[in-house]
């Protein structure tokens, strides 16, 4: 069979198909159109769903980052329950915020009566509830380990060191299973420190400082004015020099003239030596 014959056969097959296409379309055209429409709707619907989910996910993260009040974090967790990771992270952040709020309230209202605000105990209880919600869920062990660490910190704040040791041990176990080495190391360090935290601090006896003797004599009283002190010192030096000159004058032998040295005879000139 040469090329010309093959070309004629192809033309005959195409002509035969075109001749029977109308009959084929009349028989199967509606079904083909339905399948094509379903495929197109499915493709566009899948793309729309993915875009909607991405936008919703992005909005959920934005709302979480914009949240600052402790009570609002629980609302974010409920609103975004269908999103992975966001509810657990919202509960952890809310619990930490409640813990910090409790410490701040305790510092600001120490010794004061009821101020009508949320008490430190209520804040700690709210934080404990949110930590336990994450710990007792089927969330990833990374979230559960952080929840156990949060409960241990709450117990230390309450000075309940026995409960703190239990929570630190639990955090260490969960972190070990999840290969979270940083939390394992932190938990072990805190467990080792709990013994020191439970020991009472012993202070030595107070030693009274020795009394410093004070000299109130006039000679030791100094002027507050340095210039006055310098003037007094100069005056004292002048008086001392005058006293020395007076002493030299008064030691001359009676009958000697002024200027004669001791040992010269009366009547000798100042320049003569004794015996001249």
Q: In 118-174, which ranges are E strands?
A: none
For the ranges 58-72, 75-89, 141-155, 213-227, the lowest mean pLDDT is seen at 213-227
What average pLDDT does the segment 35-52 reach? 87
Question: Which are the contacts of 92, defined by CB distance < 8 A and separation ≥ 6?
Answer: 130, 131, 134, 143, 146, 147, 150
Non-local CB neighbours of 172 within 8 Å, separated by 6+ positions: 183, 184, 187, 188, 191
- 163 belongs to a structural domain: yes
Kindly state the tokens that stand for 226.
């340095």
Number of CB atoms found within 10 A of residue 19's CB: 9
Estimate to the nearest angstrom the gap between the alpha carbon of 118 and the chain centroid: 24
Rounded CA gap, 163 and 276, in Å?
116
| Residue 180 included in any domain | yes
Question: What is the number of domains present in the chain?
Answer: 1
CATH number where 138 lies: 1.25.40
CB distance 131 to 89 below 8 Å: no
Residue 220 lies in a domain: no
Instruction: Kindly tell me if the per-residue pLDDT of 200 is higher than 60.
Output: yes
Terminal Cα distance for the chain, rounded = 176
Nearest to 95 by CA among 67, 65, 125: 125
Q: Is there a domain that residue 103 lies in?
A: yes
Instruction: State what percent of residues in the chain have pLDDT above 90.
Output: 39
Instruction: Give Cβ neighbours of residue 161 (< 8 Å, ≥ 6 apart).
Output: 155, 194, 197, 198
Range of the domain at 135: 70-108+118-198
The pLDDT value given to residue 3? 57
How many residues are listed for the chain in this entry? 276
Of 202, 195, 140, 204, nearest to 168 by C-alpha is 195
| 99-122 residue pLDDT tens | 999 999 888 765 555 555 688 999
Better pLDDT: 105 or 25: 105
Average pLDDT of every residue of the chain: 77
State the Cα–Cα distance between residues 270 and 261, nearest whole angstrom.
Answer: 7
Under the banding of pLDDT at 50, 70 and 90, the label for residue 247 is very low
Query: For position 6, what pLDDT does the model report?
Result: 55
Q: What is the mean pLDDT of residues 218-227?
A: 49
126: CB partners within 8 A, 6+ apart: 70, 71, 95, 98
Torsion, Cα of 174, 177, 182, 185 (10° steps) = 80
**Is 254 among the domain residues?**
no
Residues 6+ apart with CB under 8 A from 68: 97
- Using one digit for the tens of pLDDT, what is the confidence trace for 213-222? 555 554 544 5
In a domain, 208, yes or no: no
């Amino acid at each position: 069979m040469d090329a010309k014959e093959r070309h004629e056969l192809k033309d005959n097959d195409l002509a035969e198909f075109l001749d029977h296409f109308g009959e084929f379309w009349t028989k199967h055209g509606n079904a083909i159109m339905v399948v094509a429409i379903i495929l197109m709707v499915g493709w566009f619907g899948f793309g729309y769903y993915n875009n909607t989910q991405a936008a919703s996910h992005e909005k959920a993260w934005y709302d979480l980052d914009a949240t600052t009040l402790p009570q609002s974090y629980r609302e974010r967790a409920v609103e975004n329950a269908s999103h992975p990771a966001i509810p657990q992270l919202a509960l952890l952040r809310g619990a930490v915020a409640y813990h910090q709020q409790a410490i701040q309230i305790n510092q600001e209202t120490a010794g004061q009566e009821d101020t009508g605000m949320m008490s430190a105990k209520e804040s700690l209880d709210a934080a404990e509830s949110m930590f336990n919600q994450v710990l007792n869920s089927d969330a990833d062990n990374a979230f559960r380990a952080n929840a156990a660490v949060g409960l241990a910190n709450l117990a230390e704040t309450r000075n309940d060191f026995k409960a703190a040791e239990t929570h630190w041990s639990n955090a260490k176990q969960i972190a070990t299973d999840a290969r979270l080495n940083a939390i394992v190391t932190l938990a072990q360090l805190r467990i080792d420190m709990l013994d020191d935290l439970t020991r009472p601090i012993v202070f030595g006896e107070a030693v009274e400082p020795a009394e410093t003797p004070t000299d109130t004599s006039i000679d030791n009283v100094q002027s507050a004015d340095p210039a006055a002190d310098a003037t007094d010192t100069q005056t004292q030096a002048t008086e001392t020099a005058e006293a020395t000159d007076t002493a030299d004058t008064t030691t001359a032998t009676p009958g000697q003239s002024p200027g004669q040295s001791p040992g010269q005879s009366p009547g000798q000139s100042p320049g003569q030596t004794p015996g001249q």
